[in-house]
Structure 1
């Protein structure tokens, strides 16, 4: 008797390997311009010069970057080495099933955590945190693959696989449920008015060409889509824990549909692919075409059908009632919808449901542990092997219970009255392990931005305050009105993303923007390579400024995809030697006295580069700083070809 999820576990681990490969490769091509010696936010600013003990390694933000100076590497070289190592390990685990073990995923998690700790604002995205939490769970899910004598070898699949994969399902539940809830707790008028999607496709960071078409859809359809989003993100995730298999599969396809639609209309890097990988925890081997020997009587099938009808009917009734859905056939077909509950009512419901989600999680995990133990005792093996399997289930059950307890803390943030209902031991453990990003809170699209027009910062340079100002064109974000929106996912252009956030505030709250302006005044090639078009290919401009515009989709995309209107000055004209700018840059340690004097800093150039330094420098020169999307597609295509060759021709 088996749990019937061995193949599902392998597919999940394979998917995580692919996400890691994409994430490391995407970051690697951007390191010089973002974190290099002459980058926007040099990584050296957040690193100690040298550590001499394990205590110093774990002190503060834990990162392997603290060890790279011992290899003769500067900060950029250290990040290069960690990224290259991550790409190699994830590539091997993607191609070879034997490489998908606990050791590989432990190393991948440590490498990405190390980069995250020095990545500063360019690596502080929810999908980076989600990858770290998922990566940590992959360590628990993955097999050990111990090299034991043949007579001692055990099956590569274990009864406790259902327990560890349950943690992945619990993470998926927290991600989706929180993403639905925060849209309403934020009190955003567009989410409450069901008009959020009439703004979203135009205001999101990097839309795809299809986003333009979705933006043109009738308002009633966009409002209905908003209702569907609520349904998929709030009630449907509770079906993740249903004992009825068909309900879990139904929930899987609901989530899959949502993620595919987001992929088609928005460039959210590897986030949606990572969410789809998490959704695999809702499936079993039978769904992939494997016979598991599972049989059910006619009575069991009848009960499942009746339970499904009741649950789907209840969800449908509540959606119709809570959003006042009405179908109109004249004068033309449409569906009217409006929110039929108040903010106090939703808050009261949330205070009631969040503690119940904690209870559901505890009961569901307990059920998985008990069933795993029962399957162990029913196995047709010698008693000692059954006892070993039971011990494994108890061990992983205890680990999973601890992870569940810690994760209750970020879940409790959804309700003001729930935090102190979490046992103190779990609150203390969450605080202790918080630097390791083992469990976090989520909530995507909390507030809809860009109502009245998407704000965009346009950076310009000139050789004279009265002269012609020329625009810098960024790689992917809207700028040139006639440029077609790109398809860039799963690559994440981190500078373009931060430019989107910068437009929502001011440069005083995005101090990295000042650093970028200075690098453009210097004409630093590493930063210039992060842009699509440099209007000053010879000498850098004397002045840099930035203007805030509001962009809108054009009514027809015959020539221009966008129209824009000028709002105000975002960043005043500044020159490289401006005293206030120089003073700020010195305070931020972006430059020092040697930089202002135009003299080379000899301390940054090791007289005798180490072999490791020569290696990462050679690889960097070999690869250069190519377009991230093209590099990722090349790597993924090459990996798939090798995988196919190994399977069918080796």
Structure 2
């Protein structure tokens, strides 16, 4: 069945699968290190409470049948080890059926986490990792050439990621149409990186050129993915270059790196030195049947994102089935013009007054201390820091988790404090905690030279008045 495989893409398959396994490692480690405070049995949004009200058919997960923190940790660390084995080439060292089962297990384990992750796992790159991971199951291993149908589905996914993001912009904020969004975006994006200050201070004509190039790459270039080679490879290369620019300018977890891997899967390996494939045995019939059946399923399910792309009320980052097989993507349909940040402080005083000394908690990624240069964390995902950005946009984004977060600070909860960079109360929890809303902006070149500060901040208002922990919970959670 020579029509079924594309031998020239064997190198693209290896790079894609090994890179995807590496991102799985990051995702599982991120879950393992953060889950206890976020969704653990005593977390802000506990999994057991979620599974009691949401049936398994709506959120299929291993944890629907049983949950414990030990089991979750086993799943997260076990998934990281399995992904690490696939990075090392385990998928190509075993027979094709075993390789497919390994990839399927990896996908199922992460699906179990995402489907009980609630607000903390509501980001588009979670669905993108799952959709891409399911296609990796079908991509095969060294026993056969990459299936043409799966390569097509990977391009179809990349097309939806880029084209959907382009449409949501051109239909959304007018600043995308007049090419001024990047006057603000580098400063107001959820989590700036170490170069974001410098990107923000680029000349405005260059910002306009960035916007125009973004429209070309997201609205025009994706169509060329379905053109003959080498046109498709050139189109994929332009997408890789754009995504690397985004990697340098901010922190977007593994979104950019996963998009890069999807683009690499569209590149013809025969165009590279040593890219010619050696003769491989034909694909077994059962494998052909499985791939064809899965292709039909995904194409049928694709009707939902296609309708969304064509709709004037296009939504971003939505899953249409609980298995996250086919999803819709997009980001930054609206760009904020100003940046507000929540600063959380505590005090030892039971009855605070005008002269009370408040000490500030420090977060790992989100802006806090004006003199601290933003750090690079992507592809690692700091879930609390990202949700703090949303909470500053509107208290409605913080309704279900912000109160429990403050309670755990008052209780001195160790798992919650591990999510932070700095705890100003290392010996005992504070008596009261409050939250203030500040307006942040990047300093100018002159301000940076004179003060050494990367940010300038101005108090806007009180976000949460001073609160204290009532009852015995303080002793219980601090223990």
**Which residue does the alignment assign to 2:180?**
195
**Aligned-residue offset at 1:571:** 1.4
**Which residue does the alignment assign to 1:458?**
343
Task: Kindly name which structure, 1 or 2, has the bigger radius of gyration based on alpha carbons.
Answer: 1
**Aligned-residue offset at 1:105:** 1.0
Residues 530-562 of structure 1, C-alpha deviation per residue, up to 9 Å, x if partnerless? 111111222212211111111000002330000
CA distance in 2, matches of 1:231, 1:256: 14
Q: Pick from 377, 382, 387: which aligns with 1:488?
A: 377
Equivalences, count: 456
Q: Pick from 128, 131, 135: which aligns with 2:129?
A: 131
**Which residue does the alignment assign to 2:326?**
439
**Which residue does the alignment assign to 2:454?**
561
Unaligned runs of 5+ in 1: 50-55, 144-154, 295-378, 420-429, 583-594, 601-650
**Which residue does the alignment assign to 1:98?**
93
Residues 464-504 of structure 1, C-alpha deviation per residue, up to 9 Å, x if partnerless? 32112221111111000100111111111111011011111
> 1:415-434 to 2 correspondence within 5 Å?
415-416=310-311, 434=321
Q: What CA RMSD, in Å, does the superposition of the two structures yield over aligned residues? A: 2.7
CA distance in 2, matches of 1:443, 1:231: 16
Residues 432-485 of structure 1, C-alpha deviation per residue, up to 9 Å, x if partnerless? xx0111111111222112x0x211011111223211222111111100010011
Residues 188-238 of structure 1, C-alpha deviation per residue, up to 9 Å, x if partnerless? 132222111111111112212211111111111101110000000001000
Q: Is the 8 A contact 1:14 1:94 kept in 2?
A: yes
In structure 2, relative to structure 1, the CA distance for the partners of 1:560 and 1:259 (3 Å cut) is same
1:552 corresponds to 2:441: yes
Unaligned runs of 5+ in 2: none
TM-score by length of structure 2 reads: 0.88
CA distance in 2, matches of 1:88, 1:530: 23
In structure 2, relative to structure 1, the CA distance for the partners of 1:597 and 1:474 (3 Å cut) is closer
Residues 31-69 of structure 1, C-alpha deviation per residue, up to 9 Å, x if partnerless? 2222234332222222359xxxxxx99443110123445
SS at match of 1:436: coil
**Which residue does the alignment assign to 1:80?**
73
TM-score by length of structure 1 reads: 0.66
Q: Is the 8 A contact 1:472 1:531 kept in 2?
A: yes
In structure 2, relative to structure 1, the CA distance for the partners of 1:571 and 1:141 (3 Å cut) is same
Q: Pick from 141, 144, 158: which aligns with 1:157?
A: 144
In structure 2, relative to structure 1, the CA distance for the partners of 1:596 and 1:88 (3 Å cut) is closer
In structure 2, relative to structure 1, the CA distance for the partners of 1:200 and 1:599 (3 Å cut) is closer
**Which residue does the alignment assign to 1:62?**
60
Q: Is the 8 A contact 2:144 2:280 kept in 1?
A: no
In structure 2, relative to structure 1, the CA distance for the partners of 1:291 and 1:503 (3 Å cut) is closer
SS at match of 1:495: helix
**Aligned-residue offset at 1:599:** 6.8
CA distance in 2, matches of 1:224, 1:43: 46
Residues 74-93 of structure 1, C-alpha deviation per residue, up to 9 Å, x if partnerless? 2x222111101101110111
Q: Pick from 23, 44, 49: which aligns with 2:48?
A: 44
Q: Pick from 258, 266, 270: which aligns with 2:242?
A: 258
Residues 414-447 of structure 1, C-alpha deviation per residue, up to 9 Å, x if partnerless? 223899xxxxxxxxxx96xx01111111112221
**Aligned-residue offset at 1:288:** 3.5
SS at match of 2:297: helix
In structure 2, relative to structure 1, the CA distance for the partners of 1:115 and 1:68 (3 Å cut) is same
